Amino acid sequence: MISLPHRHSNAILSNRCLLHQTSRPISIRRRVWIRSSSSNHEQGSEKTTTTKRVVLVRHGQSTWNEEGRIQGSSDFSVLTTKGENQADISRQMLIHDSFDVCFTSPLKRSKRTAEIIWGSRESEMIFDYDLREIDLYSFQGLLKKQGKEKFGEAFKQWQQDPVNFSIDGHYPVRELWSRARSCWNGVLAHESKSVLVVAHNAVNQALVATALGLGTEYFRSLLQSNCGVSVLDFTPRADGGSPHVCLNRLNQTPNSPLAGGSSGGRKTSMQIILVCHGQRDNEAAFASTNDQPMNMLGVIQSQKTAELLLDLRVSSIVCSPKTASIDTAGVISRVQEAAGCLGVDSVPRYVKTKQMNELDVEDVLRKSNKDQAVIASSQSGWISQLDEEEVSALWNRSRKAWESLLDELSDEEESNPGKIMVVVGSPMANISLIAQCLNLSKEWLGLFHLDAGSISVIDFPDGPSRRGVIRCTNYTAHLGRWSVPITRPS
């Protein structure tokens, strides 16, 4: 999916913007390389034949994040105490991974986050100026209130139509997408199997999007929280073409992905939480029975998910009619209703629960003569196990499911604007819903991976009639000792 153009010079910052004063880093304990858009890092010519895993991390909270100031590519803010703590949690999340190299933006807030996460590793660290945050020129340094007062319509366009937003003769989002494609040249050419990239909100969004082949219209559709971790796998193709890309997870945050209530600075209106039912014993058995219950680990996973959702007021639960999904939905419902009795008023909380036949996509497995276990668990290459007819059947069913879910949200948009809907299904069903949310086509299904027991969160800051924002995918930290490690090979 990824297309890597030749490297080129990027736009020079306008004289009106706040210029960053990036100093040349000093090497301590490790080899350090400096790269920019006009320099080439020496690489070997030997081609890799193994999957390259790239882990993206946004920097921790900065002083300008805390103040609500527009940072862009300026370099005047530093990590707050909270930001340093977030970086340390991310360090612990990634402590067992043997990264071969770290690419990082040289801006202070990103550089410090990278140093905390990198710890005592001796492997090389590369400071890449192309990984700086989006260039916002005259906006940089302003409080958001000042931006509205000073720039009026231009600031409104930045908020509502960022792709076509221009300032000081530049189109920042378009420039960012071009720069992100350029960044992938160095990252993918580097002789390494496991890469850590530490950068910023907008540039990490652009890196994920350009890797998947998504255009500038997806800006602000793939959330990146402070110190959120996203994982991309690049698998070489036999024909030597562009590698196959899979988003293993998006925005695994140091705290719960349900914390807060905004998406890209906008208050969340409604939310769909996609829950993958717990693990089952024999996925391959679906070829004949197609309805296996959860095993003991799956039951624990469903209980952990219910506990994660405990502090939310879930409005409704919709699930597949398969046993594992029904049982998972039942656990979530019972915990929600019990939580109501623990409140100040001790009033039982009723949660509407229903089954939706369109969420049952597993009968597709019975028609396939290939590896049902790979398909059911959404392992790498699962989509190739299905023929064209089966993929079309899966896609058409998921489209109907997605339309029905949005209709339910829309019905209560005015009476219940904070509605939270939980949807329980198989990994394959939830992958299909994510693709539907992003308005992709069936050919894109293989770009995503979900684990049993994981949750993915979709926000609707502008209501269900507008495209949702993917807050996170494949979140498993809530499973505790039964969680799926972030950097475990898929």
The number of angstroms, rounded, from the C-alpha of 404 to the middle of its chain's C-alpha atoms is 24
In a domain? residue 230: yes
> According to the model, what pLDDT value does residue 345 have?
52
In a domain? residue 51: yes
Q: Give the CATH number, domain containing residue 233.
A: 3.40.50.1240
Supply angle C-alpha 106, 112, 116, rounded to 5: 130
In a domain? residue 316: yes
239 and 272 inside one domain: no
Strands (E), 22-81: 32-35, 52-58
348 and 381 inside one domain: yes
Cα distance between residue 336 and residue 349, in whole Å: 7
Ligand-binding annotation for 58, yes or no, is: yes
- Report the half-sphere exposure of 424 (CA within 13 A, side-chain side): 30
444 and 304 inside one domain: yes
> According to the model, what pLDDT value does residue 415 have?
65
In a domain? residue 95: yes
Cα distance between residue 73 and residue 48, in whole Å: 33
Ligand-binding annotation for 62, yes or no, is: yes
Helix and strand numbers, DSSP H then E, in the chain? 13, 15
Mean pLDDT by runs of 10 across the 490 residues of the chain is 42 32 36 43 49 97 97 98 97 91 98 96 93 98 94 95 97 98 94 96 98 97 96 91 93 85 64 96 57 94 95 93 97 89 64 94 70 62 81 94 94 74 96 97 93 96 90 94 71
Cα distance between residue 200 and residue 183, in whole Å: 13
83 and 136 inside one domain: yes
Domain hosting residue 114, numbered range: 32-252
20 noted as active-site residue: no
Ligand-binding annotation for 473, yes or no, is: no
Give the domain-ending residue among 226, 252, 278.
252
Cα distance between residue 350 and residue 364, in whole Å: 34
Ligand-binding annotation for 63, yes or no, is: yes
208 and 276 inside one domain: no
Indicate the pairing of strand 262-263 with strand 316-319.
unpaired
DSSP, collapsed to helix, strand or coil, labels residue 182 as helix
> According to the model, what pLDDT value does residue 39 have?
39
112 and 43 inside one domain: yes
In a domain? residue 463: yes
In a domain? residue 13: no
> According to the model, what pLDDT value does residue 346 have?
58
> According to the model, what pLDDT value does residue 45 have?
40
Does the predicted TM-score (pTM) go above 0.95? no
Torsion of the alpha carbons at 304, 307, 312 and 313, rounded to the nearest 10: 100
244 noted as active-site residue: no
376 and 400 inside one domain: yes
> According to the model, what pLDDT value does residue 83 have?
98
Ligand-binding annotation for 64, yes or no, is: yes
160 and 90 inside one domain: yes
Ligand-binding annotation for 60, yes or no, is: yes
Within a 10 A sphere around the Cβ of 213, how many other Cβ atoms?
A: 14
> According to the model, what pLDDT value does residue 36 have?
44
217 and 115 inside one domain: yes
Cα distance between residue 161 and residue 388, in whole Å: 37
In a domain? residue 488: no
Looking at 133, 283, 358, 408, which residue is catalytic? 133
Domain count, the chain: 2
* Cβ-based burial of 194 (10 A; exposed 0-12, middle 13-18, buried ≥19): middle
- Residue 10 near residue 105, CB atoms below 8 Å: no
229 and 208 inside one domain: yes
339 and 433 inside one domain: yes
Torsion of the alpha carbons at 310, 316, 322 and 324, rounded to the nearest 10: 0
219 and 284 inside one domain: no
Give the domain-ending residue among 193, 218, 252.
252
> According to the model, what pLDDT value does residue 347 have?
63
Within a 10 A sphere around the Cβ of 67, how many other Cβ atoms?
A: 13
Looking at 8, 20, 59, 412, which residue is catalytic? 59
In a domain? residue 3: no
Give the tens place of pLDDT for each residue, 296-337: 999 999 999 999 998 888 999 999 999 999 999 999 999 998
Give the domain-ending residue among 231, 252, 273.
252
Per-residue burial over 299-308, b if 16 or more Cβ lie within 10 Å, else e, is bbbbbbbbeb
Which helix or strand (DSSP H or E) is residue 367 part of? helix 363-367
